[in-house]
């Protein structure tokens, strides 16, 4: 006997429904709109949703999305984004074959604001400040004393065509923005696809992330500041094509910290013909740049395609970073494989940089990120891990 099961769920503004046909094994996706502030716990069933404005998860609220759901923003709405305030939780646990996809109707990079998460983990901003105001146009305060802050769980989530520039010309959103997010938050198997700003940016905090793919982002693939100190990061993969700046831009807001992040298994690839945002004459074409006291411990790194005449695998941008971080062994790059005859490292301008043999080692057997393609890493008809 054919049996139809109906289920109901409420988004912020619309009633949505879904059905399952047991004979055919087909689940009909729910539909609805996501908008406004969420003030009570919700589970959003598998479905196709329209994002209208900034969908805000308030403090004390958990919102859970089913695997396989698709959320579509529309640039005509103005500023669209998924915003998780400090104390709120976003649960998006897709699977390799049923990722949760957040996209934009026009498929134009920079059309919306991506996922923005706030916490109260420690930061170390410029001048040693323990709190700051966000640069995403929302002017929210971030920073705190809770290193284990938990903002939820993101697994097998792909964000497409985000990185919106706010109209005041100074505020920017990324594909994924993590403001003082803590170590209790789970970040695994995430894709930042063709955003107009950074793929992943960490503003302080203690969160770690594994299995990240940044593909075709206009600015940096990976970026952080404010003393981000995640310790359990691995399998970071960047593929820059068309337009892109640094593979990794690393800074610590001019603070000579006694801590640093740790990342293993990194692959940075720049496709031939890729220009920087400022055009071919701009200087942001290196694989990894350290500035403003940026530091970190990195291992098993593969760098390919950074063939601009003035490019290098690792650039030290200023004298203070060289003196306080390089010369005191707070920067470490071990088992590095550099393809395409790119130089190992250099200082900006006339700055002289020298890594010791314990700080910077080459290894032609380095493998970089170890990731497996699936539907989670498939966009516009192609697999993203190459």
Task: Report the number of distinct structural domains present in the chain.
Answer: 1
Contacts of 353 (CB under 8 A, 6+ apart): 316, 322, 326, 345, 346, 347
Q: What pLDDT shows up at residue 227?
A: 98
The per-residue DSSP string of 243-307 comes to B---SEEEE-TT---S---EEEEEEEEE-TTPBPTT-TTSS---SEEEETT--EEEEEEEEE---
CA nearest neighbour of 221 among 232, 213, 210: 213
**Containing H/E element for 319?**
helix 319-321
Task: For residue 371, name the pLDDT band (cuts at 50, 70, 90).
Answer: very high
The tokens describing 187, both together, are 């970040």
SS3 per residue for 338-377: ECCCCEEEEECCCCCCCCCCCCEEECCCCCCCCCCCCHHH
Could you give the percent of the chain with pLDDT greater than 90? 87
Q: What pLDDT shows up at residue 342?
A: 86
Q: What is the mean pLDDT of residues 62-71?
A: 98
Give the range among 1-5, 128-132, 261-265, 281-285 with minimum mean pLDDT: 1-5
pLDDT in tens, 120-152: 999 999 999 999 999 999 999 999 999 999 999
The tokens describing 235, both together, are 């399998």
Q: Buried (b) or exposed (e) across 16-31, using 16+ Cβ within 10 A?
A: bebeeeeeeeebebbe
Q: Buried (b) or exposed (e) across 64-80, using 16+ Cβ within 10 A?
A: bbbebbbbbbebebebb
Residue-number span of the structural domain to which 168 is assigned: 4-383
The tokens describing 252, both together, are 């610590």
- 288-291/312-316 β-pairing: parallel
Q: What is the mean pLDDT of residues 173-189?
A: 98
Q: What pLDDT shows up at residue 87?
A: 98
Q: What is the mean pLDDT of residues 269-274?
A: 95
pLDDT in tens, 212-247: 999 999 999 999 999 999 999 999 999 999 999 999
Q: What is the mean pLDDT of residues 48-67?
A: 98
- pLDDT of residue 203 exceeding 70, the answer is yes
CA distances from 66 to 91, 92, 101, 199, 310 (A): 9, 7, 11, 24, 47
- The rounded mean pLDDT for the chain is 92
pLDDT in tens, 332-363: 999 999 999 789 999 999 999 999 999 999 99
Q: How far is CA 187 from the centre of its chain?
A: 10
- pLDDT of residue 279 exceeding 80, the answer is no
């Amino acid at each position: 006997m054919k049996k139809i099961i109906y289920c109901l769920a409420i988004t912020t503004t619309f009633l949505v429904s879904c059905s399952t046909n047991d004979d055919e094994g087909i689940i009909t996706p729910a539909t609805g709109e996501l908008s406004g502030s969420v003030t009570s716990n919700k589970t959003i069933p598998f479905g196709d949703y329209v994002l209208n404005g900034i969908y805000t998860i308030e403090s004390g609220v958990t919102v859970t999305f089913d695997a396989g759901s698709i959320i579509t923003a529309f640039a005509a709405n103005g500023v669209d984004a998924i915003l998780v305030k400090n104390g709120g939780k976003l649960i998006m646990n897709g699977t390799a074959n049923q990722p949760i996809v957040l996209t934009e109707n026009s498929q134009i990079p920079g059309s919306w604001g991506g996922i923005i998460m706030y916490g109260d983990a420690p930061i170390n901003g410029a001048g040693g400040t323990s709190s700051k105001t966000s640069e995403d146009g929302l002017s929210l305060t971030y920073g705190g004393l809770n290193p284990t802050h938990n903002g939820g769980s993101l697994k097998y989530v792909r964000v497409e065509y985000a990185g919106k520039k706010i109209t005041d010309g100074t505020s920017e959103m990324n594909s994924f923005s993590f403001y003082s997010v803590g170590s209790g938050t789970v970040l695994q198997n995430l894709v930042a696809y063709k955003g107009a700003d950074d793929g992943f940016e960490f503003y302080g905090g203690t969160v770690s992330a594994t299995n990240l793919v940044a593909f075709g982002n206009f600015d940096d693939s990976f970026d952080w500041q404010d003393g981000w100190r995640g310790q359990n990061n691995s399998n970071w993969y960047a593929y820059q094509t068309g337009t892109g700046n640094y593979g990794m831009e690393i800074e610590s807001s001019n603070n000579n910290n006694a801590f640093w992040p740790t990342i293993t298994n990194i692959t940075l690839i720049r496709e031939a013909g890729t220009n920087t945002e400022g055009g071919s004459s701009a200087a942001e074409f290196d694989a990894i740049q350290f500035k403003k006291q940026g530091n970190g411990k990195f291992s098993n790194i593969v760098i390919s395609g950074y063939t601009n005449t003035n490019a290098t695998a690792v650039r030290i941008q200023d004298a203070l970073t060289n003196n306080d971080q390089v010369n005191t062994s707070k920067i470490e790059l071990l088992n590095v494989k550099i393809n395409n005859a790119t130089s190992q490292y250099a200082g900006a301008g006339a700055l002289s940089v020298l890594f010791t043999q314990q700080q910077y080692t080459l290894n032609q057997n380095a493998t970089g990120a170890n990731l497996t393609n699936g539907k989670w890493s498939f966009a516009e008809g192609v697999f993203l891990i190459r």
